[in-house]
């Protein structure tokens, strides 16, 4: 009897050691949240998913798109594109919101907001979650001229800034990659959704050119953000915000480029008008960086047409298409 009991105890001890070692090895082999998210984010950016579409394109192809207004419910009631459902942008990754979207993720989704900025953030998140979404360029401001329905004011030359620029090519530093810890899971979709919810819950839509200018000129280097131009390298060379480094938006998700960004520092991202900057901003936040998009992009920073590199919003370039009111599509 003594021998049997001793044998049993030894077997139990051996099994506990075996499974203990097995669990330790398994934990070592687990991919981090960053490792699960980065390949998808890079794939979405490299493919150029989420690039803005014009109001004319959407109007002429309404039957091809599932339309989502990511404006506030009160703004939706004032006026929305016919057929559009309403999901405020900060809730776009919630289970209840995703349940409202097509189960066929290949279905084209047109996302729109007020001026194109938060629409870009929501679009980027949806594409990271596997959907096929595009952002309406300039948002509701490009669809209608009705100021009450627009709610927000579009870009205006009268109120735009004309801050200094430089042509110096700024060399980026080298940093460790971000290491977010959203959820203890090895399921990529679950981790991506957790990352999206964590980001959107407290996300800032944009930072104004004036606020950025004040930060980098207040004689306090401790609050200076890292500035990232996601415009083409040729446009960066023409002129950029002082101190900015350059990573074109489709290349932001590459590991070698992410190592140029400081995960412990605020990052301000800018493009031309705020649209692709929004895509890159959301992508960086999913990966664990602290990024904010510059409102109206370089068009909001300078009046120099050559440095802007594109044409900003103008009333002459907008339409006055029909819209519905109330709480139903």
Query: Domain containing 302 — which CATH number?
Result: 3.40.250.10
Same domain, 192 and 272: yes
pLDDT surpassing 90 at residue 275: yes
Same domain, 228 and 130: no
In a domain, 11, yes or no: no
The per-residue b/e assignment along 155-192, b for 16 or more CB within 10 angstroms, e otherwise, is beeeebeebebeeeebeeeeeebbebebbeeeebeebb
In a domain, 135, yes or no: yes
Same domain, 222 and 290: yes
In a domain, 148, yes or no: yes
Which tops the pLDDT comparison, 8 or 219?
A: 219
Phi, psi of 143 (to 5 degrees): -90, -35
At 262 the pLDDT is 98
Same domain, 198 and 289: yes
In a domain, 17, yes or no: no
At 27 the pLDDT is 57
In a domain, 102, yes or no: yes
Domain that includes residue 128, residue range: 39-155
In a domain, 204, yes or no: yes
In a domain, 138, yes or no: yes
Tokens for 55, please give them: 């109001």
Specify the pairing of strand 108-112 against strand 66-69.
parallel
pLDDT surpassing 80 at residue 8: no
Residue 309 near residue 231 (C-beta atoms within 8 A):
yes
In a domain, 315, yes or no: no
Instruction: State the DSSP string of 221-274.
Output: GGGPPEEEE-S-HHHHHH-B-TT-EE--GGGTTSHHHHTTS-TTSEEEEE-SSS
Same domain, 144 and 253: no
Provide the angle, in degrees to the nearest 10, between the axes of the packed helices 117-128 and 188-201. Answer: 160
Residue 94 near residue 197 (C-beta atoms within 8 A):
yes
Determine which helix (DSSP H) or strand (DSSP E) holds 110, and give its type and residue range. strand 108-112
At 4 the pLDDT is 52
pLDDT surpassing 80 at residue 190: yes
* Range 156-160 average pLDDT: 94
pLDDT tens track for 303-312: 999 999 999 9
Same domain, 114 and 192: no
Per mean pLDDT, which range of 4-13, 56-65, 148-157 is the poorest? 4-13
Mean pLDDT over each residue of the chain, to the nearest integer:
93
Same domain, 148 and 45: yes
* Range 161-168 average pLDDT: 97
* Range 170-197 average pLDDT: 98
pLDDT surpassing 90 at residue 321: yes
pLDDT tens track for 29-50: 899 999 999 999 999 999 999 9
At 289 the pLDDT is 98
pLDDT surpassing 90 at residue 106: yes
- Assign 173 to helix, strand or coil: coil
CA distance 123 to 132: 9
| Final residue of a structural domain among 133, 155, 177 | 155
Q: Number of folded domains in the chain? A: 2
């Amino acid at each position: 009897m003594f021998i049997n009991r001793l044998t049993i105890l030894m077997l139990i001890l051996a099994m506990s050691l075996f499974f203990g070692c097995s669990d330790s090895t398994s934990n070592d082999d687990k991919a981090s949240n960053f490792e699960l998210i980065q390949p998808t984010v890079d794939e979405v950016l490299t493919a150029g998913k989420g690039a803005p579409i014009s109001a004319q394109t959407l109007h002429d192809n309404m039957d091809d798109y599932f339309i989502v207004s990511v404006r506030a419910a009160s703004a939706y009631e004032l006026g929305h594109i016919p057929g559009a459902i309403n999901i405020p942008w900060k809730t776009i990754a919630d289970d209840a919101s995703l349940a409202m979207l097509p189960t066929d993720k290949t279905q084209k989704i047109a996302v729109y907001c007020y001026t194109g900025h938060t629409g870009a953030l929501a679009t980027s998140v949806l594409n990271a979650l596997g959907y096929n979404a595009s952002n309406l360029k300039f948002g509701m401001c490009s669809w209608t001229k009705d100021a009450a329905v627009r709610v927000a004011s579009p870009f205006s030359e009268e109120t735009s800034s004309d801050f200094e620029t430089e042509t110096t090519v700024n060399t980026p530093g080298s940093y460790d990659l971000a290491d977010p810890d959203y959820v203890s899971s090895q399921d990529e979709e679950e981790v991506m959704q957790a990352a999206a919810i964590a980001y959107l819950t407290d996300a800032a839509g944009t930072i104004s050119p004036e606020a950025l200018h004040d930060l980098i000129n207040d004689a306090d280097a401790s609050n200076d953000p890292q500035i990232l131009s996601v415009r083409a390298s040729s446009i960066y060379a023409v002129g950029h915000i002082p101190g900015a480094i350059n990573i074109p938006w489709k290349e932001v998700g590459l590991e070698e480029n992410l190592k140029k960004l400081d995960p412990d520092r605020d990052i301000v991202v800018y493009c031309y008008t705020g649209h692709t900057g929004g895509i890159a901003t959301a992508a960086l936040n999913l990966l664990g960086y602290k990024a904010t998009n510059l409102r109206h992009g370089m068009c909001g920073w300078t009046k120099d047409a050559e440095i802007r590199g594109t044409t900003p919003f103008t009333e002459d370039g907008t339409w006055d298409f029909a819209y519905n009111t109330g709480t139903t599509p």
